[in-house]
Each structure stands twice: as structure tokens, then as C-alpha cells.
Amino acid sequence: CPSSPKLPSTPSEKCGVLNVTKITENGKKVRKNWTSSWTVLQGSSLLFAKGQGGGTSWKFGGNQSKPEFTVDLRGGSVDWASKDKSSKKHVIELKTRQGTELLIQSEIDSVINDWYRALTDTISTHAWE
């Protein structure tokens, strides 16, 4: 995984391309906008970079490479999304303590299962922070 020099790496670190959309921001419903994002799990943060189109050479920490969006997983929750949240298969619903809800999806079920495990592990590891 490419990593940011600013964040400590932990055993839970993971990265890859996922389809992502916000559905709620600060408690307010927002319009879905599915995008393919390079996604990095670092410590208790989940970082997204839009429009990287699956490129693995992309790195956080360079000049033009700030993460587009960061989610603090501490105090959040992860579950499989119900059918009414999306017509896509393999969709994870991630809720943050700050009232942001995201849907995260991959067509590849082994990929999404690994992310589900990594996210639930991270949330339980940081449960008391």
C-alpha cells in the first residue's frame, strides 16, 4: 500500500479500488454519486481519492495527491446494506459518529468481504478511543 507519512501504519492497513458514494452527510441525506476511488485504511482512518481509475502507482503524500475525503472510523458502524439502500450487490453501509453514511461496493465478493472484515476489526480495535 502507498501510505501517507503523516499517519502511523498499523497491521490493519489495507488499500484498493472500491466504488463509493455518500448517502448522508452530517445527518442530512445527499444525492448518491457512485465513484471509483482508491481507498486506504490507515489506523482508524479511511481515506478516499477520487478518479484514480484503479491506478496502483498513485501515492498519498505527493504534491497533488491529497486524499479527497477522509472518514474517522472511531465510534462508527459497519453493516451489509439492505436491498433498499442500493440495487448493487456486495454493498457495505458505513456510518460515522459524525453522521456521515457511505456505501462501499465491489463487484468482487472476496474483495468486499476482506474490506468488511478489516473495517469491523478497525472499529472494534478503536472502540475505546
Please say whether the beta carbons of 39 and 58 come within 8 A: no
Query: What's the min distance (Å) between Cβ of 88 and ligand I3S?
Result: 5
Task: In whole angstroms, give the CA distance from residue 121 to residue 73.
Answer: 11
Q: Determine the interface stretch with ligand I3S among 45-53, 82-90, 109-117, 118-126 (rule: CB under 6 A).
A: 82-90
Residue (34 or 80) nearer to ligand I3S, CB: 34
Q: Determine the interface stretch with ligand I3S among 9-17, 31-39, 55-63, 117-125 (rule: CB under 6 A).
A: 31-39
Closest CA to 91 of 20, 7, 17: 20
The answer to whether 19 contacts ligand I3S (rule: CB under 6 A) is no
Cα–Cα–Cα angle for 78, 84, 88, nearest 5°?
75
Query: What's the min distance (Å) between Cβ of 47 and ligand I3S?
Result: 22
